[in-house]
Structure 1
């Protein structure tokens, strides 16, 4: 099993390998690296695609201690070090985008471009914070009910077949305590909108028009704040995990973006 010991965590990752432009992708909250299977299939072997499980999720073993997305950004950079990759396109969905933006602020010299999927630079909507916190504590202490699972899946996926697959994964999860640290990281993140002008690398922002977790307006703000962003790509009818449920719309602009970056290397 490919695991790298980074920042006192055991980070699980998968690497398609090859000599193509490297792209490292970070998943959204409650998901894992498998949510990028449609992108790995479409992008490799033309590009080298690395996916990984962040603290609190998937097959990564974390210490359960409090952390921030700045720590997750350092995990991403540490994984690039482990793989011997000096520069890469850095990207992610939702919380994967939160940490990717922080990678670009921490180490701009290592970022060839940013791929930002259904994400934003702002903090959590304050009207959602207590509800999300109560939901996660209930899950950890009493287990995930069918009603709760369907509610979460409707926000993230909103697609029956995918809903069933991920609900089964959530219910099979055994290490629940690490969810608390991951939840507090999500809910307590700070607003970095005012720092977007510091990021000058090429960026592609993709967002589902039916995303109820992060409104399209937040993607518009993100796109406008990044000084070298492509025009916002809207995915009609897609909810939060647009790259997974609407890959046929998401993959072509990603391929185009990566090819332009590869040509400019």
Structure 2
């Protein structure tokens, strides 16, 4: 892990007609870390990811990915990241291995079969590699989806609410895969509305609310924003949920 920022966002603004979604968003993500962008539904998390992945143009502000400007160097930016959305983008008719081989061939990489086998092993899918994806569990599909995103070794991966709709066991499987990404040096920008997900995974957490980043820090730093509570004379440290609800409120 280094202190070098691989994602830099400054003054990002975006409106949809009269609706102002982003009102000046600022944050940096260090190389080889997991950065969680936390917020309620409609907070603008996906809008940030779409701008960073060159799918949407910001109204104002700047953003760079791997040193390239998303507005003026979109081709270089696209070479630097992979994007995994809320639903697994895998072909259910093909086997897990065939999905991986297909992507490797589309990217004109040498030895696509070897690449597929290495990723199957890395994500604990070797035994299921020859089976049609239609037979996979939700967690297995998501792990395969993340594996497909890593073909070509992109330095950055965007995970936009990757555990939406998954059961608890499948979520844990995905969490383990995400942790492994950072351990291998990949920079991860994770958007989520699940507080426990941010708490378990992120090196740093930013809360996006009403178009602004209202807090950005480590879990320990965020917990220091609230005093400990005492229950029957036992000190109880605040949870990330306590911090989030105190800062954002409970109104939808």
Structure number with higher strand proportion: 2
Bigger Rg, structure 1 or 2: 2
Determine which structure has greater relative contact order: mean sequence separation of CA pairs < 8 Å that are 6+ residues apart, divided by chain length.
2
Same fold (TM over 0.5): no
TM-score in terms of structure 1 length: 0.28
